[in-house]
Amino acid sequence: MKLQALAALCSIALVEAKALTGEHAGVFGKHAIIRRQAHPTTSTPPTAAGSSTSGSSASTGTGTTANAPGTTTSAGAPVNTAPSTYDVNGIPPLSDITFGMPTGTTYAAASTVTPGTQPTTIPKAPVIPQFTVNPADWPAMDKPPPTDSPQVQAWMQELNGHTIPDIAPTVDGTCAGDPAAAAQAEQRGWWSCGGWTRPTDIVDCPDKLTWGVSFDDGPAPYTQKLLNYMNTKDIKATFFVVGSRALEYPQLLIEEYMAGHEISVHTWAHPPLTSRTTEQIVAELGWTRMIIQKVLGITPTTMRAPYGDIDDRVRAIALAMGLVPIQWTRAPSGFTFDTNDWHVAGGTVTGVDQMAIFDTILSNATIMDTGFIVLAHDLYEITVDLAIGYTLPAAINHNPPFQLKRIGECNSIPMSNMYVETNTNVTFPGPNATNATNPLPAIKAGSNTTGGSGSGAAANGSGSSDATAVGFPVVGAVVAAGFAALGAML
201 labelled catalytic: no
What separation in angstroms does the CA of 115 have from each of 44, 52, 129, 223, 485?
21, 5, 5, 22, 36
What is the rounded distance in angstroms from the CA atom of residue 34 to the CA atom of residue 361?
24
Please give the Cα distance from 167 to 312 (Å, whole number): 8
Please name the residues in contact with 137: beta carbons below 8 A apart, sequence gap of 6 or more: none
Measured distance CA(351)–CA(190) in Å, rounded: 30
Is 172 in the active site? no
Tell me the C-alpha to C-alpha distance, in Å, between residue 300 and each of 60, 137, 281, 296, 308: 24, 21, 16, 10, 18
What is the C-alpha to C-alpha distance for residues 318 and 343, in angstroms, rounded to an integer?
28
Contact 255, 109 (CB under 8 A): yes
Instruction: Supply the DSSP string of 100-148, one letter for each residue.
Output: TPPP------S--PPTTPPPSSSTTPPPPPP----GGGSPPTTSPPPSS
The order of strands in the sheet holding 372-373 is: 372-373, 210-212, 403-405
Full DSSP string of 16-37: HHHIIIIIT-SSSGGGGG---P
Distance CA 358, CA 371 (A): 15
Which of the residues 178, 201, 216, 385 is marked catalytic?
Answer: 216
Write the DSSP string, 253-266.
HHHHHHTT-EEEE-
Selecting among 142, 377, 378, 385, the annotated active-site residue is 377
- Polymer length of the chain: 490
Give catalytic residues, as residue numbers. Answer: 216, 377
